[in-house]
């Protein structure tokens, strides 16, 4: 048995409050870890056709063989059946989660069943405690939950505390799971799956060290990777302004989704730019475990208390490009305080920021077009830029006092089905769009990516690189590039390497690092394996009823100018078809 792979899988049954540990070395040898292994565990454990919010659904956490060993291999992959799309749910986050899981002695954790009453799990290496979470249920802020657990459990500095907010308890289908206050398993509704299982939080702690097979090679590779990560220019943009630097870049290109993509540039872009935030608001930068980059940018928001003069509170608010897009330009909000308040609000409730922003953008337009009445909005009249009304609406989405807000809590796809306005309901594959109106490749990526995320295949990058070039972005080229990228990213997310480090974890380097844990794959084998893992993910999607022909293309994205002018529907459709062909089993 290999001592170098994180082969132990912890199985937890919430219905019976039981757990067991099983060695699954064969899975890690074949599928490496992370996404590769989690896909198999999902295929094994998630009941076919189950209700995502019922007992048949499972939650899988997986880390990789490089976690603990090399810098920037500290992501955790979660998999579940998504209550948002009714299909594959996959979400990644860093913080201390991956290091804690591996240091506790595990490569993966599978949580199934439903607890009778609220619990949180405290996993301290080989011991699992099912702690009563009645006192935590209904707390207003996910941050408070973290704070209280922090005070009541051991393992400070050697643990992760992953928890949901009220949005998860109330089964908002795009509720997220928060870890270490500022990192999120953001997309596709893992928070609601937690809520449906009456699971408030999972704490994991451990101090186990991780051996390597070849100490000399390990030392050499570590040195190389560390130097590349700290000195190379490839990672510069994540260090300095962070991803927020995209605001001005995309605005200039006319690829910045604004006011529900009625526009592709924003007159308030300077205000909410990474440059402006860094200059006036950036208060601290923090990092995930074992990462020299420290891309997590925290802004300070200073607010006076109305009831007591000279009383202020200062809140640390994390910002990234996607949040500034979704709760800034997408809603026409140019006030930085306004955007930061909105971010803080979704943080406290435990909502996915991107879906929340797109839902509110759709609602604003639906009100504009009289598709919904004032009665339905409970008297609120959302208007572009009016963050105060949006703050009130977010609370109502979480509380769901009437049918309208119940629908908003299920995302734009379902809300638009009921109230109309599908032509401006900006979800692709059921998932609200990320912040890239950059051209056809971005959208093809949202549709074909296994989790309908911009991070699946980075189509926005294909678009941006092609701007101003004579070479045309044909459907063939788009499908080809995206398929290659998504396939390779399966290897990165199976290693649980942060995508920001993709430039340094090249196929050559990955093959070498795997040798230090006795996994021997050539570069070609790795590339093939990436394709295989992608097909396995699609095996789950197809099993659960995914069909490329069901994809809906909202008219709005075909009307607003992009860096590639007006995007043609045929280009998107043709590229999707070609992509689907590539996914078919190869002879």
Partner 1 sequence: MVKRLSVVDSERCTGCQLCMFNCSRRFGVGGLGKSTIHVKSAGGVERGFVVVVCRACEDPAPCARVCPVDALQSRNGYGVTLNRDRCIGCRMCVEACPIGAVFWDEENNKPAICVYCGVCAKYCPHSVIALEEIKTGSEVT
| Residues forming the site for partner 1 (CB under 8 A) | 68-71, 99, 102-103, 143, 146-147, 150, 156-158, 180-182, 207-212, 215, 218-219, 222, 226, 230, 284-292, 294, 296, 298, 316
Q: How far is the CB of 211 from partner 1 (least distance, A)?
A: 6
44 CA to centre of own chain: 23
Sheet holding 127-132, edge to edge: 127-132, 119-124, 199-205, 159-163, 177-179, 183-185
Instruction: Determine the longest span between alpha carbons in the chain, in angstroms.
Output: 74
Cβ neighbour number for residue 476 with a 10 Å cutoff? 11
In sequence order, the 6+-apart residues with CB closer than 8 A to the CB of 399 are 170, 405
Among candidates 123, 178, 206, 79, which has minimal Cα distance to 494?
79
Residue with Cβ nearer partner 1 (52 or 242): 242
Structure tokens at 545: 């009823």
Q: How far is the CB of 405 from partner 1 (least distance, A)?
A: 30
Cβ proximity of 365 and 424 under 8 Å? yes
The span from the CA of 61 to the CA of 10, in Å, is 10
Q: How far is the CB of 179 from partner 1 (least distance, A)?
A: 10
Residue with Cβ nearer partner 1 (73 or 416): 73
The span from the CA of 198 to the CA of 135, in Å, is 13
Residue with Cβ nearer partner 1 (70 or 488): 70
Q: How far is the CB of 316 from partner 1 (least distance, A)?
A: 4
Structure tokens at 216: 């000399």
Cβ proximity of 277 and 299 under 8 Å? yes
Q: How far is the CB of 100 from partner 1 (least distance, A)?
A: 10
Residue with Cβ nearer partner 1 (214 or 399): 214
Residue with Cβ nearer partner 1 (182 or 405): 182
Q: How far is the CB of 103 from partner 1 (least distance, A)?
A: 5
Residue with Cβ nearer partner 1 (69 or 354): 69
Residue with Cβ nearer partner 1 (69 or 478): 69
DSSP tag of 343: H
Q: What secondary structure does DSSP assign to 68-105, as a single string?
A: TTSTT---EEEEEE-TTTSSEEEEEE-TTHHHHHHHTT
Cβ proximity of 75 and 98 under 8 Å? yes
Cβ proximity of 396 and 344 under 8 Å? no
Q: What secondary structure does DSSP assign to 520-536, as a single string?
A: ---HHHHHHHHHHHHHH
Residue with Cβ nearer partner 1 (282 or 442): 282
Among candidates 191, 197, 195, 223, which has minimal Cα distance to 78?
191
Q: How far is the CB of 424 from partner 1 (least distance, A)?
A: 37
Residue with Cβ nearer partner 1 (130 or 316): 316
Residue with Cβ nearer partner 1 (94 or 530): 94
Q: How far is the CB of 575 from partner 1 (least distance, A)?
A: 39
Residue with Cβ nearer partner 1 (93 or 289): 289
Q: How far is the CB of 151 from partner 1 (least distance, A)?
A: 8
Q: How far is the CB of 231 from partner 1 (least distance, A)?
A: 10
The span from the CA of 155 to the CA of 170, in Å, is 30
Q: How far is the CB of 228 from partner 1 (least distance, A)?
A: 13
Q: How far is the CB of 174 from partner 1 (least distance, A)?
A: 24
Angle, to 10 degrees, between the axis of helix 336-349 and the axis of helix 387-399? 10
Residue with Cβ nearer partner 1 (23 or 300): 300
Cβ neighbour number for residue 15 with a 10 Å cutoff? 12
The span from the CA of 233 to the CA of 221, in Å, is 19
Structure tokens at 467: 């701007």
């Amino acid at each position: 048995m290999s001592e170098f792979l994180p082969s132990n899988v912890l199985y937890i049954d919430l219905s019976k409050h039981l757990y067991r540990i099983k060695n699954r070395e064969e899975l890690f040898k074949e599928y490496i870890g992370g996404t590769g292994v989690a896909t198999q565990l999902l295929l094994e454990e998630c009941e076919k056709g189950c209700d995502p919010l019922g007992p048949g659904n499972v939650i899988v956490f997986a880390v990789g063989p490089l976690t603990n060993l090399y810098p920037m291999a500290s992501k955790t992959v979660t998999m579940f059946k998504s209550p948002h799309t009714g299909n594959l749910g996959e979400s990644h986050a860093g913080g201390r989660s991956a290091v804690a899981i591996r240091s506790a002695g595990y490569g993966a954790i599978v949580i199934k069943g439903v607890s009778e009453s609220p619990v949180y799990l405290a996993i301290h290496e080989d011991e699992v405690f099912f702690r009563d979470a009645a006192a935590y249920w209904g707390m207003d802020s996910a941050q408070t939950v973290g704070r209280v657990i922090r005070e009541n459990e051991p393992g400070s500095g050697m643990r992760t505390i992953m928890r949901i907010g009220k949005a998860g308890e109330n089964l908002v289908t795009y509720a997220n799971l928060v870890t270490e206050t500022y990192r999120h398993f953001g997309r596709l509704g893992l928070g609601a799956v937690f809520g449906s299982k009456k699971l408030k939080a999972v704490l994991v702690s451990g101090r186990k060290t991780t051996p390597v097979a070849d100490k000399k090679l390990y030392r050499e590779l570590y040195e190389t990777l560390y130097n590349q990560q700290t000195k190379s220019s490839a990672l510069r943009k994540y260090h300095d302004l962070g991803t927020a630097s995209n605001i001005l870049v995309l605005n200039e290109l006319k690829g910045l989704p604004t006011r529900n993509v009625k526009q592709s540039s924003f007159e308030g872009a300077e205000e909410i730019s990474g440059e402006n935030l860094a200059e006036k608001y950036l208060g601290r930068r923090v990092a995930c475990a074992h990462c020299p980059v420290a891309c997590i940018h925290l802004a300070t928001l200073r607010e006076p208390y109305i009831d007591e003069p000279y009383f202020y509170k200062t809140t640390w608010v994390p910002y990234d490009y996607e949040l500034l897009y979704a709760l800034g330009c997408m809603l026409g909000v140019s006030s930085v305080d306004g955007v930061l308040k909105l971010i803080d609000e979704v943080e406290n409730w435990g909502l996915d920021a991107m879906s929340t922003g797109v839902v509110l953008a759709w609602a604003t337009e639906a009100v504009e077009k009289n598709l919904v009445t004032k009665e339905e909005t409970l008297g609120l009249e959302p208007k572009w830029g009016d963050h105060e009304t949006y703050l009130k609406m977010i609370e109502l989405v979480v509380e769901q006092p009437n049918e309208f807000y119940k629908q908003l809590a299920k995302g734009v796809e379902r809300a638009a089905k009921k109230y109309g306005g599908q032509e401006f309901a900006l979800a692709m594959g059921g998932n609200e769009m990320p912040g890239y109106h950059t051209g056809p490749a971005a959208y093809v990526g949202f549709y074909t990516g296994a989790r309908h995320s911009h991070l699946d295949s980075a189509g926005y990058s294909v678009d941006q690189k092609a701007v101003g070039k004579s070479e045309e972005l044909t459907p063939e080229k788009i499908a080809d590039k995206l398929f290659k990228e998504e396939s390779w990213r399966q290897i990165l997310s199976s290693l649980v390497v942060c995508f920001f480090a993709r430039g340094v974890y090249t196929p050559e380097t990955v093959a070498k690092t795997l040798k230090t844990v006795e996994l021997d794959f050539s570069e070609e084998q790795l590339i093939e394996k990436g394709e295989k893992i992608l097909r396995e993910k699609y095996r789950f999607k197809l099993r659960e009823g995914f069909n490329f022909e069901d994809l809906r293309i909202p008219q709005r994205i075909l009307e607003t100018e992009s860096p590639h002018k007006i995007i043609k529907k045929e280009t998107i459709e043709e590229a999707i078809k070609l992509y689907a062909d590539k996914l078919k089993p190869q002879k």
